[in-house]
Structure 1
Amino acid sequence: MSINQNHLMNTIPNIHAMIVAAGRGSRFGASIAKQYTILQGQTLLQHSVARLASSAYIDKCLLIIAADDSTAQTLDFALPIYYAIGGTERWQSVQAGVEAISHSGADDSDLVLIHDAARPAVPSNDINQVIEAAMSEPYGAILATPVADTLKESYVYSNAQSELVNTSINSSSSHSYAKRTIDRSNMWQAQTPQVFRLGELQQVLAHVAKHQLDITDEASAFEHLNLPIRLVTGSRQNIKLTYPDDATLLAAILNAQS
């Protein structure tokens, strides 16, 4: 699973942009899929497409949507859009997108840029930097930020049983307590976009499918195979809408960027 380094240095790959918008965002707790939350007069999905459109490297975008999505194709976007149907798990949605890109005639050495619909405030410069970093890498690069806050590992203590238990942290009969502080010196918070070589991404996703791995982003699939993915320091403005409180902060960021 390797690409000739001299070939990388002598060619400028095509960039295929993809936004994953097939999930519903259960932690957000809304009745609609969170990518259709309205901020500053547009949906998160429209904002995220517009951010990609701000990069000179990107001229179209593949949207991965749920099979029952009746909203995406009614919206106006800042880029030409084409669609693929996602799966139950995130990696399945990404795999569907990767297959669509491959079937369109893309080369294995082309770059696939994957962005979350719920990250509508990624700065244009960050998009360009992660693409340019990936151009010189055999596997890819991702945006990330060094962890700034103190990290605590927790344990759950049950008052009813007066012992440590493996119950849910959300249980009304238990509470979380600080167990130890984690060394954050080498810790990073992953963001998107994440940018990978098409052929390599296809192979690692096939590995995920074969071994039924539990991954939370595409970079972690490469990590399972000990394949190096470059970390590119991104802006802390590039937050993800995960909980309702995030909407207020994102609205302020979008307002400042406009």
Structure 2
Amino acid sequence: MNTTRKISAIVPAAGVGFRMNSQIPKQYIKIGSLTILEHTLTKLINHPQIDSVVVVINPNDELFNTLTIARHPKIKVTYGGATRADSVLAGLTLLDANDWALVHDAARPCVAMEDISRLITTVINTQRGGILATRISDTIKQAYPDDDNQIAKSLDRSYLWAAATPQLFNVAELTSCLQQALQNHVAITDEASAIEYCGGHPLLVECRRDNIKITRPEDVALATFYLTEHNLER
């Protein structure tokens, strides 16, 4: 088994985050003295198994280079495209085809280091791609497609998971699957969905529920609480 391949993180950070009602992209909102993006990148560059971190920014981004972390030796920067898939593909071009790409949302600063380690260990040991995810505990309702917000049925949550990040895949495989999906105009919401489109079955690795994605204004207060708790746990 080859376990010597490098692991490089890709952080797509080219979005503008319209749902945050902010004057700046959500990744640049501050929690304490650091931006959300800095909190996220600090986790990744401090993980001992991650060799480098590729940050994919918007071509019009004038904020990233003002951050101290932008000059960290592990950090590489490139420009993203119109969609997440385009941005991840841009990051993949900087990596060796035989290596592993660990894709992580810029707006998930609360990911636990031990969960990243568990994902890496699982993928390396099985040589199969995988993602962090949480089991669904809520009752899930499916609505009718007529946009009337009427319940069509309840879904069996026994087999339902909420996908999170990081998601870890071989660079060549992920590149090929993203390219195929884009060429065929398939909607790609995360990296696992590209692998699934090509017939793959990524592994689910359970993570902590506080690995939230900051999407709306109220999420900032929750992330602030979780980050404070993480610091107290150390």
Normalising by structure 2, what TM-score?
Answer: 0.93
Match of 1:226 in 2: 199
**Pick aligned residue for 1:148 from 113, 137, 154:** 137
Look up the match of 2:190: 217
1:139 Cα shift? 4.1
The aligned amino acid for 1:141 is G
TM-superposed CA distance for 1:155, in Å, is 3.6
Higher normalized helix content (fraction of residues): 2
* Unpaired runs of at least 5, structure 1: 1-8, 157-165, 168-174
Across the aligned residues of Structure 1 and Structure 2, the Cα RMSD in angstroms comes to 1.6
TM-score with structure 1 setting the length: 0.84
Kept in 2, the 8 Å contact 1:40–1:254? The answer is no
5+ residue gaps in structure 2? none
Amino acid at match of 1:187: L
Aligned residues: 229
Which residue does the alignment assign to 2:57?
65
Correspondent of 1:90 among 84, 106, 115: 84
* Deviation sequence 1:97-132 (CA, Å, 0-9, x none): 10122xxxx2x3310111101000100001111111
Mapping of residues 45-194 of structure 1, within 5 Å: 45-77=37-69, 79-80=72-73, 81-101=75-95, 106=96, 108-155=97-144, 166-167=146-147, 176-194=149-167
Deviations 1:56-108 (A, max 9, x none): 1124311000000000111022943111100001000000110122xxxx2x3
Paired letter, 2:102 = L
Tell whether 2:169 aligns with 1:196.
yes
Q: Work out the CA distance in 2 between the residues paired with 1:56 and 1:26.
A: 34
CA shift, 1:31, in A, is 1.9
Q: Which amino acid in 2 is paired with 1:91?
A: A
Moved over 3 A (4+): none
Residue equivalent to 1:18: 10
Q: Distance in 1 between matches of 2:105 and 2:195?
A: 18
- The residue identity in structure 2 corresponding to 1:118 is A
CA contact (8 A) 1:139 1:200 kept: no
Rg (Cα) greater in structure:
1
Partners of 2:210 and 2:58 in 1: CA distance:
28
Q: Indicate the SS of the match to 1:240.
A: coil
Do the aligned partners of 1:113 and 1:196 also contact (CA within 8 Å) in 2?
yes
Q: State the Cα distance separating 1:250 from its structure 2 match.
A: 0.6
